[in-house]
């Protein structure tokens, strides 16, 4: 378990908040005792520590061992499966695909991972709104990044989309078009709760159901029909 690099500044700010709260209260209300001999400044320190721990757990980056398989499509993130349906994908495929959506709460690990091994055929960032992540239009109107990876062996493509939510105000991605990527490897990060949509071939076998919990880089979401 490590701390993700996207969290360094947030953790530094949390430490500053904790120190400012403690010394500010101690300066404004020196030696003010509330109850059970607990001073106001100590209570402020405890509150600051709680904030620090919350931020710390949000940016945790656990070690993941991806069970590599050419036919498997792996979960791109931790979270809960909230959508499984056949939809029209208008941006890249311009046709019908099977959509699987995973909602990430603020308590999930927010590292995003490649669902398959292959070549990045398409990668585009879209500015947009910040509707709640479960809103039906969040997939097409929110701030988002769309990535398509083509499998090197059987040539099938998977599109996945990082989508910002009401709290998520920063989408980070580390890949670009033409880059080879490995299944389960880190490709990006979304801050403070959101969702990731997968768009799969119509004949792919879905191995999860609504309400299932996923682990990024490990959970077997679907199987290619190859």
What does the pLDDT look like over 95-137, one tens digit per residue?
999 999 999 887 888 899 999 999 999 999 988 765 665 555 6
- pLDDT (mean) for 40-55: 84
- pLDDT (mean) for 6-19: 87
Tell me, yes or no, if the pTM score tops 0.85. no
Which pLDDT score, from 0 to 100, does residue 11 have? 87
Which pLDDT score, from 0 to 100, does residue 42 have? 80
pLDDT at 168 over 60: no
Which pLDDT band, with edges at 50, 70 and 90, does 169 fall under? low
Cα 99 from Cα 29, distance rounded (Å): 56
Rounded to the nearest integer, the mean pLDDT of the chain is 87
The closest alpha carbon to 15, from 57, 45, 60, belongs to: 45
Catalytic residues, which ones?
Answer: 194
Which pLDDT band, with edges at 50, 70 and 90, does 223 fall under? very high
**Better-scored residue on pLDDT, 23 or 39:** 23
Domains, the chain: 2-61 (no CATH), 72-223 (2.70.70.10)
Which pLDDT score, from 0 to 100, does residue 134 have? 58
> Considering the chain, what percentage of its residues have pLDDT values greater than 90?
50
Q: Which residue bears the tokens 């910002």?
A: 164
């Amino acid at each position: 378990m490590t701390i993700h690099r996207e969290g360094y500044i947030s953790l530094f700010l949390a430490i500053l908040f904790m120190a400012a709260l403690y010394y500010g209260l101690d300066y404004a209300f020196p030696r003010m005792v509330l109850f059970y001999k607990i001073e106001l400044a100590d209570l402020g320190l405890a509150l600051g520590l709680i904030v620090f721990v919350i931020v710390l757990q949000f940016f945790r980056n656990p070690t993941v061992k991806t069970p590599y398989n050419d036919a498997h499509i792996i979960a791109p993130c931790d979270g809960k499966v909230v959508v499984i349906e056949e939809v029209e994908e208008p941006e890249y495929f311009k046709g019908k695909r099977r959509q699987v959506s995973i909602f990430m709460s603020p308590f999930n690990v927010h590292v995003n991972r490649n669902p398959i091994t292959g070549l990045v055929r398409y990668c585009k960032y879209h500015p947009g709104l910040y509707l709640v992540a479960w809103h039906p239009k969040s997939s097409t109107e929110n701030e988002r990044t769309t990535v398509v990876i083509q499998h090197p062996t059987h040539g099938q493509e998977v599109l996945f989309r990082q989508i910002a939510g009401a709290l998520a105000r920063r989408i980070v991605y580390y890949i670009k078009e033409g880059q080879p990527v490995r299944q389960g490897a880190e490709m990006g990060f979304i801050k403070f709760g959101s969702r990731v949509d997968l768009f799969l071939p119509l004949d792919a076998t879905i191995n999860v159901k609504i309400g299932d919990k996923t682990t990024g880089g490990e959970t077997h979401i679907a199987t290619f029909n190859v």
